Every structure is written in C-alpha cells, then in structure tokens.
Amino acid sequence: MLRQEEWYAPVEAKGEGSLRTSRIELPQGTLDLLILRTLALGAQHGWAISERLQQISQDVLHIQQGSLYPALHRLERRGWIKARWGASENNRRAKYYELTRGGRKQLETEKDAWRKLTAAVAQVLETA
C-alpha cells in the first residue's frame, strides 16, 4: 500500500467517489476495520483517528479525509460507532467517536475475517 500522492481536482472527481478509494488500494471495507480497531482503544475525533492510523502503520497508511469522514458517517449510520461532542486536548469543541456494543462485535467479526483472508492469501502466495 502506497502513500497517495495525487491531488484530485474537484471537477474531475465529480460524483465518482469510488475512483478515489480504489486509488488508495485499501481493499473494500478495510478502512472500516481500521477505524473500528483504532476506536477500540478509546473515543477519538476524526483528525486523531487519521493521525493514529498513520503513526501505527509507520506512515504507510495515509488516510485521505475524503474517505475518512464518509466512512465515519457510514459506520455511525450502521450503529457501530456513536458520536458525541466534547472538548479536545486544547479545549476546543470536537466530535468524538466511540465504539458501540454492536461495533465491538463487528470488530471481532471483521478481525476474524481479515485473519482468515490474510492467512489464506499468504498460504496461496507461499505454496503456489
């Protein structure tokens, strides 16, 4: 997975959001898994989530806000995370996201699925 360097002019990107995500080359749904995992450590606001992901992945994963926020809203709609307004580190209003009970369950399911998938892919890569 490569750091994404391109910048998209809004006109070219009109209405075709899928284009952007495919360029990141995060497999479909992976971003959701990463967000859930990040939030498993505690409530976070959007910027902190992206920073954290970048940090943990040692700068390999650079999450575009263009994908992050829609993903957060999508997860909230599905009821896996919930949002509340709180004060940030420097006492400004920030929107914090945290896992719901459903979200925790979902995280476990997705982690499982991911492990199985990577193990299977690894298996194929090594033996085939």
Partner 1 sequence: MWSGIAFRMRALFRRKRVESELDEELRAHFEKQAEKYIRAGDAPEEARRRARLDFGGLDQVKEECRDARGVSLLENLAQDTRFAARMLRKNPLFTAVAVVTLALGIGANTAIFSAVNTLLLEPLPVKDIDRIVFSVAMREGFDPYGSSLVEYQAFRDRGHSFTSIGLALQRSFNWLGRNEPEILQGAMVRADYLGTLGVSPVHGRDFSAEERRPGGPAVALIGYGLWRREFAGDPGAPGRTLNLDGRITTVVGVLPAGFDEPAGAQIWIPDQRNIEGMPLAERLGHDHDLVARLKPGVSREQADRELKAIAKELEREYPRERTGWSVQLIPLRQEALGDVTGRVEKALAALVAAVGFLLLICCANVASLLLAQGVGRERELALRRALGAGRLRVAGQLLTESTLLATLGGAAGVLLGYAAVPVLRALNPIETIAFVEPLTNMHIDGRVLGFAAGLTLLTAVLCGLMPAVKGAGSRDLAPVLKEGGQRGGVASGGRRWLAALVVTELAVAVPLLAGGGLRIQSFERLQNLELGFRPDHLLTMHLVLSPAKYREFRERVNFEKRLLEHVKSVPGVVSAGITTTLPLTAIGSTDAVFTVEGHPPKNPSDVPITAHRAVSPEYLQTLGVALTKGRLLDAHDNAEGQRVVVISEELARQGWPGEDPLGKRIRRVRPGQADLPWMTVAGVVKDVKEDRDNFRIARPVWYVAYEQTENAQPLDLVVKAEGDAASLAGSVREAVRAVDTDQPVSRVLTMNAHLAGVLMTERFSAVLMGALAGLGLALAMIGLYGVMSYSVSRQTTEMGLRAALGATQRDILGMVIGGALRLAGLGLSLGLAGALALTRFLSGALYRVNASDPLTFGAVAALLVLAAFAACYVPARRATRVDPIVALRHE
Instruction: Give the footprint of partner 1 on this chain (CB under 8 A).
Output: 7-11, 13-17, 20, 45-47, 51, 64-66, 69-74, 76-79, 82, 85, 88, 92-95, 100
86, β-bridge pairs: 94
Q: Which residues of 53-88 are buried (b: 16+ CB within 10 A; e: fewer)?
A: beeeeeeebebbeebbeebbeebeeeebbebeeeee
Q: How far is the CB of 13 from partner 1 (least distance, A)?
A: 6
Nearest approach, Cβ of residue 118 and partner 1 (Å): 27
Largest CA-CA distance found in the chain, in angstroms, rounded: 55
Nearer to partner 1, 93 or 125 (CB): 93
Angstrom distance (rounded) from CA 63 to CA 4: 9
Phi/psi at 8 (nearest 5 deg)?
-100, 125
| CB nearer to partner 1: pick between 9 and 128 | 9
CA–CA dist 25, 3 (Å, integer): 10
| Cβ 36 to partner 1 shortest distance, Å | 15
| In the complex, least distance from residue 87 CB atom to partner 1, rounded to whole angstroms | 11
Q: Which is nearer to partner 1, 19 or 120 (CB)?
A: 19
- Between 7 and 124, whose beta carbon lies closer to partner 1? 7
